[in-house]
Amino acid sequence: MNFLQLGMLLALPLAAVPVIIHLIHQQRHRTVKWAAMMFLLDAKRMNHGIDQLRQILILAMRVLALLFLIFAVSRPLVSGWLGLAMGGVPDTTLILLDRSASMEETDVTSGLSKRETAVRRVADALEKGVRSERIVLIDSALLQPVEIRHPGDLKNLPQTGPTATRANIPGLVQAAMDYAVAQKLGNAEIWLCSDLREGDWQPDNGAWESLRASARELPNLRWRLLTFPEGSPDNLGVQVEAVRRRELPGNAGAELLLDLEVRRQGQGPVGIPFGLVVNGVRTVSEIAVEGDRQKIRGLAVPVGRDRSEGWGMVELPADRNAMDDRAYFVFAPETARRSVIVAENENIAAPLLAALRARVEPGAVYEADFVLSSKVAEVDWDVAMLVVWQAPLPAADSLEAKHLIQFVQSGRSVLFFPPTGADANRLFGIGWEEWKAAAQEERQVGWWRTDADILANTGDGKALPFGELKVKRFRGVAGDGLILARSSDGAALVMRGDVSRGAAFFCGLSPDPAATSLASDGVAFFVLLHRLLQKGVNAGARSQQWEAGLDALADGTWERLGATEEALGPERGLRAGAYRSGERFRALNRPIEEGNPERLDSAELAALLAGFDYRVIEGRAGEGGALANEIWRSLVILMGLVLLAEAVLCMPPAPDPAKRRFESPA
């Protein structure tokens, strides 16, 4: 609790005035010499307890009324949740801001998004009341602590602006803890503003375990969660999953084939108008959507024969979240989709080569090279779009390790399979456990992530037959990455380690037929490889469909296509848009996971934050109330109530029938 007129609290002793007056009054009673004392003593004796209680209550009411008056005049500020104030003013206030695209859901009345509302409320709270010596902002897009001089600056900082990114909340929490440890914060309050999207919070992320452990070791951090769990029932979202350019037979020109995904809240068929812009030319059409998620494959958009490259975007009617109403795409002549398989022997590499050379998309060229693990130096890292590594992990300081890390940092992927021999090295913080023979049951894959990532369900919602795999032996995956699949006894089978834009995937199931049926039951295997290859294509092709992110435009001089620049510096890569740098085209969009409307409920949140000293304040987009509200009106009302109670207590009793006129019986 804080006070705008702190000096008025000096008047607090005035609350004792009623007691003092009462005591003085007791000494200044009119004195009457009285004969009928026996009746007075009787009355006093009978009334003693009630009389005293009533007097005490009356005095208490008067004291309370004065207290409320003084407090009201001193204009106290309390947070939306009164208990927040009990911890006193912190030395440092950290603001962790979820800048994911979903935070752009906007209140129609006020025009404020959840992100803007969060920033305003926190800024107002800090400005009006709970001011600490140091205010630090860490946003989910940059993950860099920024010290704020004045809370009001929060509203205008680029670090609090909108982005088309996905938030990494575990990373954000880790950044706050790292800062707290590095700065040796004694008494800190951390405001985490988020809409609780599961995609952002990543409840399956293995980092939460260590975060919970860290939270127990940092009991001086008080976490305040300003959440915006409210969904938007009529929201529509669109994403471009893939773009292909196809020459039409004869002189018919060329066309673009778009793979789109439209998400909406609600069921039943509905026609949704959408706009399509290709190289600045806009057309309007309508798509039929059934259910809450509609995949549109191969939406043909005619382009001129001479239009071999360019950009475009798909637009849906405006709704509460403008960020997901628009998706950009770029197109350019395709280069070969080259994969490199580094394996211990050719037998293991054979099914991999077969799968990666298979032509999936018409017109695309698929190439795959096999390199023995002993000849890694032959790998052409620049042209490869996917590296499959079935060999012992290189030492962290080796040249191979550096090549692999740079490869992943460029946005492409590496898929690691377990080596046949012992391997104690770790890369990307992940390593292999020992080989483990499967028990009697051959089906060892107990769980895998079906909503997103490389093991996600197919476009028609069917799960990959990953659980059908027959497993004779496998190697568990150990590390801090995101677990994508587990064995039936709980061991991590597939794990993802994120590095910059790319990712390293570790799969504990070997394609060796002696270990698993991964190669022979090839559906899951095939899908897995081509999804990863597609990631590499996105990162390495001339036309790239990228997720917006900090380093999305860091690898060249990129020029915005079709619009003026909205941001400068590192913020550029955080916005959706189409860009060009020389021969390369790049479309930046929000991540696919941002389309997932699932949110954490309070139980899931409590499980995730077990060990954190946290409080939740639920907010709504556009909500005007500051986190710290002036409560003098409430105090005045309370004062009125107390005075009313005092008046009731002071009221003379009902007319006394015994007070009748005296009459002599004589």
Contact residues for other proteins, defined by CB under 8 A: 25-26, 29-44, 46-47, 50-51, 54-55, 650, 652-653, 656, 658-659, 662, 664-666
Cβ nearer to other proteins, comparing 59 with 146: 59
Q: How far apart are CA 432 and CA 422, in angstroms?
A: 9
Least Å from the CB of residue 32 to other proteins: 5
Cβ nearer to other proteins, comparing 55 with 285: 55
Residue 224 vs residues 1, 115, 275, 283: alpha-carbon distances, Å: 15, 16, 41, 47
Residue 486: CB atoms within 10 Å: 22
Task: Give which of 423, 422, 595, 416 is closest to 496, Cα–Cα.
Answer: 416
Residue 134 CB partners (closer than 8 Å, separation 6+) = 91, 92, 93, 147
Least Å from the CB of residue 641 to other proteins: 22
Least Å from the CB of residue 16 to other proteins: 20
Cβ nearer to other proteins, comparing 14 with 59: 59
Least Å from the CB of residue 78 to other proteins: 39
Cβ nearer to other proteins, comparing 40 with 637: 40
Residue 363: CB atoms within 10 Å: 12
Least Å from the CB of residue 651 to other proteins: 9
Cβ nearer to other proteins, comparing 60 with 287: 60
Cβ nearer to other proteins, comparing 19 with 288: 19
Cβ nearer to other proteins, comparing 48 with 295: 48
Residue type for position 506? F
Asked if 553 contacts 572 with a C-beta cutoff of 8 angstroms, the reply is yes
Strand blocks (E) in 126-232: 134-139, 146-148, 188-194, 221-227
Nearest 5°: the CA angle 156, 157, 159 is: 140
Least Å from the CB of residue 67 to other proteins: 25
Q: Token pair for residue 583?
A: 């021969």
Cβ nearer to other proteins, comparing 53 with 288: 53
Least Å from the CB of residue 14 to other proteins: 24
Asked if 316 contacts 99 with a C-beta cutoff of 8 angstroms, the reply is no
Q: How far apart are CA 476 and CA 416, in angstroms?
A: 12
- 589, β-bridge pairs: 547
Least Å from the CB of residue 639 to other proteins: 24
Collapsing DSSP to helix, strand or coil, 628 comes out as: strand
DSSP class per residue in 575-614? S-EEEEETTEEEEEE--GGGG---B--HHHHHHHTTT--E
Least Å from the CB of residue 57 to other proteins: 12
Cβ nearer to other proteins, comparing 463 with 650: 650
